Amino acid sequence: MMGNDQVEQVKGQFTHEEVAKLVTEVDRLQLETSQYTRVVEQKLKILEENLELFARENSRLLAVKDALMVERDSCTSLIAKLAEKSGYSVGKTDDSIVVVNLPSGQVSWPFHPDEKHLFADLPDYIGAVETIEMVELYTRVMNPGLEAT
């Protein structure tokens, strides 16, 4: 901060017109800063409103995902049980993976640990679990190589 002596010294360096120009420029900058601040605050308000919307949508999507996981695990359990009853090698791993060995090759799906009760009747899987791409997995599922009865 400048002292009185310094202010008086600076005042003496400028003409009245220069001071008037400086005051006008300071006023203009203050107005511009005020307008900019208002725009930023409006945008922040919109972001906050959208953040709440996104949080609600995220919660909804997580609930949908959880429901789909239960449905998928139920279907996977049915596939494994039907395959076992049909004489195919099936089982579950300690890592919550169900494995079915079809004539077209091994297929496997992870299942949520909360759904392990769906797989309780299946034996433990002995052997290696293949790591395959999803396209290959569903190619094997859609073309299982089962003989028609």
pLDDT tens, residue by residue, 48-87: 989 999 999 999 999 999 999 999 999 999 999 999 999 9
Number of C-beta neighbours around residue 102 at 10 A: 19
- How many distinct structural domains can be found in the chain? 1
Q: If DSSP states are collapsed to H, E and C, what string results for 73-141?
A: HHHHHHHHHHHHHCCCCEEECCCCEEEEEECCEEEEEECCHHHHHHHCCCCECCCCCCCCCHHHHHHHH
Query: What confidence tens digit (pLDDT) does each residue in 113-143 have?
Result: 999 999 999 999 999 999 999 999 999 999 9
The answer to whether residues 90 and 77 touch, using CB atoms and an 8 Å cutoff, is no
Query: What is the reported pLDDT for 107?
Result: 97
Query: What is the reported pLDDT for 70?
Result: 95
pTM of the entire structure?
0.63
Distance CA 137, CA 108 (A): 8
Find the domain containing 47 and state its range: 1-149
pLDDT band at 11 (very low <50, low <70, confident <90, very high): low
